[in-house]
Amino acid sequence: MLVIEAKLKGSQNQYKVLDEMILTGQFIRNSCLRYWMDNKNVKRNDLQKLCSVLAKDSNFPWVKKLNSQARQASADRTWQSIQRFYKNCRLKLPGKKGYPKFKKFTRSIEYKTTGYKLSPDRKKIEFKDGFKAGVFELWTSRDLVWYSQQQISRVRVVRRADGYYCQFLVNVERKETHNFQGNVVGIDLGLNAFYTDSNGDVVENPKYLRKSEKRLKKLQRRLSRRHEQGKKPQSNNYHKARIQLARANLKISRQRKDYAIKTARALIQSNDLVVYEDLKIANLVKNHHLAKSISDASWYQFTEWLEYYAKLHGIACIAVPPHFTSQNCSNCGQTVKKSLSVRTHKCPHCGYTADRDHNAARKILAKGLEMLGAVVNSTEGHSEPGGNPKATGESDLWISNSNIANLSHLCERRIINDENPAS
C-alpha cells in the first residue's frame, strides 16, 4: 500500500461544502455509536443498515447527499473503535479500555471507490455525490498518472490548519533493494541526543518544540486577548489568531515527522539489523518534569518508521525490553546502579568506562542479537522463511524480517550471555 497526499485547491464556497461533508460523516458516526449504546449484540452489518435508515429519514435530509460508500466508511470508523474497546477488555489491559466517545471535531471524510472522479491527467478531482462540491485542483509532488483508477482503493479528504488535503490509498507493492553487509547496530533513545548507537555515534536531537516555544507563547497570548466570553460568534481577529496558532503547531508536527522519517530511513539503509528499546511512552510521560521533552522527541513515531522501512528493506528490526539496559555493564554484565544525572558509566568490577548512553546501546544490541540467534536456530524460525517469527523470551515482540535466511550469517556475532562483551 502507498498513500499519496495532494492539496485541494478550490474556492471558499467549495471549502464550505467540504466542511458540510465532514460534518455529515461525523453525524453518521455518532448516530452509529448511539445505536450501539442503546442496543445489545450490535454487529458491523447492523451499523451498515443504519446508514440506509438515516439516508431515508426525512428529518436528516443532508445524510442522503453523502455518497453511500462514504456513509459506510463512517460507520466502519465507529465499528473499529468498538472493536478496539472489546479487544482491550479481552486482554484485560490496565487502566482505561478506550470506551468509544462521540466526536465533536472530526476533520476527515473517506470515500471508497465511488463518489469521485479523477481527470485523465490526474491533476484534478471531482466529487460527484449530492453535495456537489465540484472540481478541485490537486497539488502534489507525487504524480498520480502512473496509477490506474482501479489501484486507488480509498480517497480521504482531510482538513488541516493550512487547508484541505486529499489522500489516495494506492494498491501497489513497494519493495526496496538492500545491500547486506553484516552491519548490526543497537540504539539508545535519549533526550540530550536523539539516539546513541552501539558504535558510539550520536544523532542530534532537534528539539523543535523547545526552539518554537517563544513564538507559540506569543501566539497563545494574542489568542487569549482576542477571546471574548459571552459573545457568539467570535470576532474575525480571534479566528485569525486561532489559525495562526494552529499553523505554528502544525509546522512543528511536520518537522518532527520529517526528521523521524529521514533518520529512520538512513539508519535502516546502512545496517542489516537494528535493535531498539520497547519503551512505554505512555508511562514515561507521567513524569511531569520530562513529559514535554519526551513528547518533543517523538520516539514512538521514530520507532514506527523504523519498523516500516525494515519491512521494505527486508531486514530485522527488533524491539527488546528496556529493563536494566542502563544499569548493567555491557562489558561484564554486572549491575552498576546510577541515577539519571550520572552520564558516565564506570564499572567497578571490570573497569570499563563509557558514556552512559553508549553503554546502554551496546547492551541493547546484545539483547537483540541473543533474541535473533534464538529465532534463527529454532525450527520455527526456519519453517516459514517469508513469515514474521515471534521473538521468544520476556519481550514477546515480533521481529520484522522478510527473509530470515539473509540474516543467518549474523548468528555468528550474537551474544548468548552477558559474559561475552558486545562488539
- pLDDT-derived band at 407 (thresholds 50, 70, 90) equals low
The band of 338, judged by pLDDT with boundaries at 50, 70 and 90, is confident
What percentage of residues in the chain have a pLDDT greater than 90? 52
Packing angle between helix 44-56 and helix 12-38, nearest 10 degrees? 130
Q: Which residues of 203-231 are buried (b: 16+ CB within 10 A; e: fewer)?
A: bebbebbeebeeeeeebeebbeebeeeee
Whole-structure pTM value: 0.82
pLDDT beyond 60 at 209: yes
Say what the pLDDT of residue 67 is: 93
Mean pLDDT confidence for 330-348? 81
Residue 231 pLDDT? 58
pLDDT of residue 227: 84
Give the number of C-alpha atoms closer than 13 A to the C-alpha of residue 273, restricted to the C-beta side: 30
Which of 18-32, 199-213, 296-310, 321-335 bottoms out in mean pLDDT, i.e. has the lowest? 321-335
Q: What is the pLDDT of residue 230?
A: 65
pLDDT at residue 349, as a whole number: 81
Q: What is the mean pLDDT of residues 187-196?
A: 91
For position 351, what pLDDT does the model report? 79
Asked if residue 355 has pLDDT above 50, the reply is: yes
pLDDT bin (cut points 50, 70, 90) of residue 413 is: very low
- Distance of alpha carbon 217 from alpha carbon 270, whole angstroms: 40
- 293/2 Cα distance (integer angstroms): 32
Query: Taking all residues of the chain, what is their mean pLDDT, rounded to a whole number?
Result: 85
The confidence score (pLDDT) of residue 386 equals 41
- What average pLDDT score do residues 367-396 get? 55
Hey, which bits of 279-348 come out as E strands? 316-320, 344-346
